């Protein structure tokens, strides 16, 4: 329970046996009253077993569906088990669970809360095409959602019951669909969105890619996904 | 004459293949019927390639063969689009199944854990 609400933390994980125990342990330490669901997205390592040993509930997908597929499973679990709030956290340890109560507080006023980098707290910077993509996404999505959004691809978000029910029935499994398209869809259906500044930490395991070619491809794909999301019903 | 033999034989072999696949239940009926209908057009045309020359003329196409090629490519494109659509629908279905399966497995495992826990507690209380 956080502020009288039943809260589920959803952690989509793919081959994260190196960091998942620490992430689950930290969440349970910081937030004693919440339940943690690790969605193992078809890992080939011991992610599911390690997460279960660390005290999380585990839902193991038979094969890889991508973050979107794992998240819809998480929202279905939240809906079926009657949670008031569902919070998505990355399995690599870059999201600090101490911000969770801050996100939950905002759910009194809005339906979906995003924990955003670049919003004043912490240091995080990107350059080149990846930066252009982020600027484009935040400009367009801020207009669609009628609120300032600076970090649209953040995987740190909190949803209330209404949004949980929507996401349980509809959640795209495609590339960037879990972030960009869900924002467009949510805003279009009249739900309110707000961002909350959070500091991100260095990942406990894994490294982000820095190749310029990949950044260009990312820009193109982001543009395509955004355009498609805007012309879809 | 040689050309007619080649095209006619090809058409007949295709027809036999489709019928055989349908007979062995390797093709879903909806696809089988589609291909049979296509072959009912293709086989006469392969035997008499000049059948469509008149239609081609009225459409402003130089020869019936070009018209058949054009229509054939359009048709194949449509088939490809249809198959992509079918695969997308199938992926959505298997995705839902995978999610259902994962939810059920989580439920079963939680129940099993609860049962072994209560069994252990009972043992302890008996011992005590």
* Gap between the Cα atoms of B58 and A36, Å rounded: 71
Same domain, B81 and B112: yes
* Closest partner CB to A76 (pick from B99, B105, B109): B99
Nearest chain B CA: its distance from A58 CA (Å): 6
Mean pLDDT, chain B, as a whole number?
86
Mean pLDDT, chain A, as a whole number?
88
pLDDT digits (tens, 9 = 90+) for A34-45: 999 999 999 999
Region B102-121: mean pLDDT is 90
Task: Determine, yes or no, domain membership for B121.
Answer: yes
Task: Test A65 with B98 for CB contact under 8 angstroms.
Answer: yes
Total structural domains in chain B?
A: 2
Which tokens sit at A151?
A: 């970090």
Instruction: Provide ipTM, 2 decimals.
Output: 0.83
Nearest chain A CA: its distance from B50 CA (Å): 45
Task: Determine, yes or no, domain membership for B13.
Answer: yes
Domain boundaries, chain A: 7-231
* A206: confidence class by pLDDT, cuts 50, 70, 90: very low
CATH of A7-231, one of 3.40.50.2020, 3.90.1150.10, 3.90.550.10, 3.30.2320.20: 3.90.550.10
Chain B residue numbers touching A72 (CB-CB < 8 A): 99
What count of other Cβ atoms lies within 10 Å of the Cβ of residue B13?
Answer: 10
Same domain, B35 and B75: no
| Rg, chain A, Cα only | 17
Chain B residue numbers touching A39 (CB-CB < 8 A): 102
Same domain, B27 and B83: no
Which tokens sit at A88?
A: 């998505």
Picking from A140, A135, A162, the residue whose alpha carbon sits closest to that of residue A228 is A140
Task: Determine, yes or no, domain membership for B81.
Answer: yes
* Gap between the Cα atoms of A207 and B100, Å rounded: 32
* Closest partner CB to A77 (pick from B101, B103, B109): B103
- Contact by Cβ (8 Å): A83, A7: yes
* Gap between the Cα atoms of A183 and A181, Å rounded: 5
Same domain, B13 and B42: yes
- Contact by Cβ (8 Å): A199, A154: no
Same domain, B43 and B86: no
Task: Test B106 with A77 for CB contact under 8 angstroms.
Answer: yes
Q: What is the dihedral of CA A36, A42, A44, A48, to 10 degrees?
A: 20
Q: What is the dihedral of CA B90, B92, B97, B101, to 10 degrees?
A: 140
Chain A residue numbers touching B99 (CB-CB < 8 A): 61, 65, 69, 72-73, 76
Q: Which of A8, A11, A61, A174 to mutate to test the interface with B (most CBs of B within 10 A)?
A: A61
Which domain, by its residues, includes B109? 64-128
Kindly identify which residue of chain A lies nearest to residue B99, measuring between CA atoms: A73
pLDDT digits (tens, 9 = 90+) for B57-80: 888 888 877 888 888 899 999 999
Which tokens sit at A181?
A: 């398209």
pLDDT digits (tens, 9 = 90+) for A145-191: 999 998 888 889 999 999 999 999 999 888 888 888 999 999 999 99
């Amino acid at each position: 329970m956080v502020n009288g609400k039943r809260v589920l933390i959803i952690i989509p994980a793919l081959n994260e046996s190196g960091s998942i125990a620490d992430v689950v342990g930290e969440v349970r330490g910081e937030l004693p009253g919440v339940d943690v669901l690790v969605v193992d997205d078809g890992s080939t390592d011991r992610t599911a077993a390690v997460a279960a040993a660390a005290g999380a509930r585990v839902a193991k997908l038979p094969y890889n569906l991508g973050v979107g597929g794992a998240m819809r499973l998480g929202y279905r679990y939240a809906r079926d088990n009657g949670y008031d709030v569902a919070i998505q956290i990355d399995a690599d340890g870059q999201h600090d669970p101490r911000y969770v109560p801050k996100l939950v507080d905002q759910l009194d006023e809005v339906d979906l809360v995003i924990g955003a980098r670049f919003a004043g707290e912490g240091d995080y910077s990107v350059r080149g095409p990846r930066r252009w993509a982020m600027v484009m996404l935040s400009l367009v999505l801020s207009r669609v959602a009628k609120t300032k959004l600076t970090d649209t691809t953040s995987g740190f978000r909190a949803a209330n019951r209404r949004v949980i029910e929507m996401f349980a029935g509809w959640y795209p499994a495609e590339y960037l669909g879990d972030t960009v398209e869900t924002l467009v869809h949510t805003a279009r259906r009249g739900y309110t969105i707000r961002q909350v500044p959070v500091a991100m930490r260095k990942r406990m395991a894994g490294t982000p890619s820095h190749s310029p070619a990949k950044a260009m491809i990312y820009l193109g794909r982001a543009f395509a996904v955004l355009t498609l999301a805007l012309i879809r019903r | 004459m040689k050309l007619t033999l080649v095209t006619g034989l090809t058409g007949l072999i295709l027809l036999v293949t489709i019928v055989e696949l349908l007979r062995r239940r390797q093709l879903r009926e909806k696809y089988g019927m589609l291909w049979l209908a296509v072959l009912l057009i293709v086989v006469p045309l392969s035997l008499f390639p000049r059948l469509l020359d008149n239609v081609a003329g009225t459409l402003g196409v130089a020869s019936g063969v070009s018209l058949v090629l054009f229509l054939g490519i359009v048709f194949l494109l449509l088939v490809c689009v249809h198959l992509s659509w079918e695969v997308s629908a199938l992926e959505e279905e298997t995705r839902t199944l995978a999610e259902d399966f994962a939810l059920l497995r989580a439920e079963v495992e939680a129940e099993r854990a609860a049962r072994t826990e209560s069994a252990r507690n009972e043992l302890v209380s008996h011992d005590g």
